[in-house]
Amino acid sequence: VGLADVYGARGELARGMGDLEAAERAYTESLRRFRMVGGRHLVGVGLNLALTHLQMGRVDEARAWLDSVVHCPEAERATRGVSAVLLAVARLCRVSCLAHSGEWTELARELAVSASDLETLGIVSTDVMTVAMSTAKLCRDAGRLAEARTLLAIAKAQARTMDAIDGLEELAASLR
């Protein structure tokens, strides 16, 4: 499992520095190694790979993985702990995929669950803030202002917690 962890960490570093191709390679190798040994970090590394695919604009690839996580039997039992946190973030990422494809009814359902879970679990993450903000813009541009406002509220809550509120006011103003 050691090398799988190392590749996962390399993916995190590369993604943090904006080298998405290197992040994708590292996460893919980490997943390959975890699958060989049955590592418990498969979902976390897979989520990072999905986030990377979203950042690269490869929404269909991100969605395939996110759908498999959100609809797996274990997802229904994930009510606390790391599994619940990963599932809540995966749901929010899936909301982004649904916005890209214009699946508004399913997006509304998934967003309601995701928003509730994020708040209940007290999740604080720059990934959550970034995905919520970019998805709010997609919703705004599609005229889905209620969804955009919900996503903006998620992004603002994240930003306040991280003291990173700058940059969200322009988006907020466009939703008034």
Q: Using one digit for the tens of pLDDT, what is the confidence trace for 119-155?
A: 999 888 999 999 999 999 999 999 999 999 999 999 9
Read off the pTM. 0.84
Bigger pLDDT: 45 vs 109 = 109
Output b/e per residue, 102-113; b: 16+ Cβ within 10 A: eebeebeebbee
Intra-chain end-to-end CA distance of the chain, in Å: 50
* pLDDT value, residue 163: 66
Q: Using one digit for the tens of pLDDT, what is the confidence trace for 80-126?
A: 667 788 889 999 999 999 999 999 999 999 999 999 999 999 888 99
Bigger pLDDT: 73 vs 7 = 7
* pLDDT value, residue 36: 86
Confidence of residue 73 (pLDDT cuts 50, 70, 90): low
Report in angstroms the alpha-carbon separations of 53 from 48, 108, 149, 169.
9, 22, 25, 27
Bigger pLDDT: 170 vs 158 = 158
> Which structure tokens are listed for 51?
């986030």
Cβ–Cβ < 8 Å for 11, 45? yes
Residue 166 has pLDDT above 60, yes or no: no
Q: Which candidate, 58, 66, 56, places its Cα nearest to that of 20?
A: 56
Give the CA radius of gyration of the chain. 16
